[in-house]
Amino acid sequence: MNRVTITRPAYERLIQICLDKFPDEACGVLASYDKASSLTSEAAANQTVSEIIAVRNAAGTRVNSYTFDPTDWVAALYKIQRNRQTIAGFFHSHPTTPAAPSASDIEQWSGGTQTYAWIISLAKPGNPVIKAYRPQYSSAGELMFTEVSIHII
Ligand SMILES: [Zn+2]
C-alpha cells in the first residue's frame, strides 16, 4: 500500500504550478474525487489525486519556506467541499534543493497522518523531481516522513 496515485494531467499541472512560482516555493493542495472510507493513510493511499489547487505562499521569505495564504486556503477548502472532493495531500516546492523533507517541513506539518506530503524539487533545471511522503508517528511518538512511490495514471 506504500504508493500514491495521480492522474497525468494533475501531475503535469503540479510541475507547472511550481515552475510558475520559481524561484519562490509554491504550495497547495492535492484533491481527489474518491471518498476516503476512513481517516487512515491506507484510505488516502487508495485515492487518486486528480486536481491540484494552488495556494499563495504568504511566507516572508518565499525562496526557502512556505506558509499558506489564509484567504486562498479557505477558498481551497470551500472549493473542495463544493466539488465533494477530499484532501489527499499537500505539496510545496524546493526551488534549489532536493525533494527531501527539511526539518521544518516535518516540524510544521499540520496535515495529520491521513494525507501525504508531496515535495517537488526544481534543483535540476529541466528535470523536476517529485516525491511523496507518508507522515507516520514512530513508536517513540516522533513524526517521520516515509517515502512512497508515485503511480501516474
Ligand atoms: Zn520543504
Rounded to an integer, what is the distance from CA 141 to the centroid of its chain? 23
Hey, where are the domains in the chain? 3-152
- Residue 102 CA to ligand 1 centre (angstroms): 5
- For residues 75-102, b (16+ Cβ closer than 10 Å) or e, as one string? ebeeebeeeebbbbbbbbbbbeeebebe
- Residue 101 CA to ligand 1 centre (angstroms): 5
> What is the spatial distance between Cα 131 and Cα 148, in angstroms, rounded to a whole number?
8
pLDDT at 40 (0 to 100): 54
CA distances from 107 to 51, 87, 103, 135, 137 (A): 26, 20, 6, 11, 12
* pLDDT block averages, 10 residues each, the chain of length 153: 89 98 97 69 72 97 95 97 94 97 94 92 95 94 94 95
Q: Which CATH architecture has domain 3-152?
A: 3-Layer(aba) Sandwich (3.40)
DSSP secondary structure letter of residue 123:
S
pLDDT at 128 (0 to 100): 97
For residues 96 and 122, the answer to whether their CB atoms sit within 8 Å is yes
pLDDT at 43 (0 to 100): 52
- Residue 123 CA to ligand 1 centre (angstroms): 13
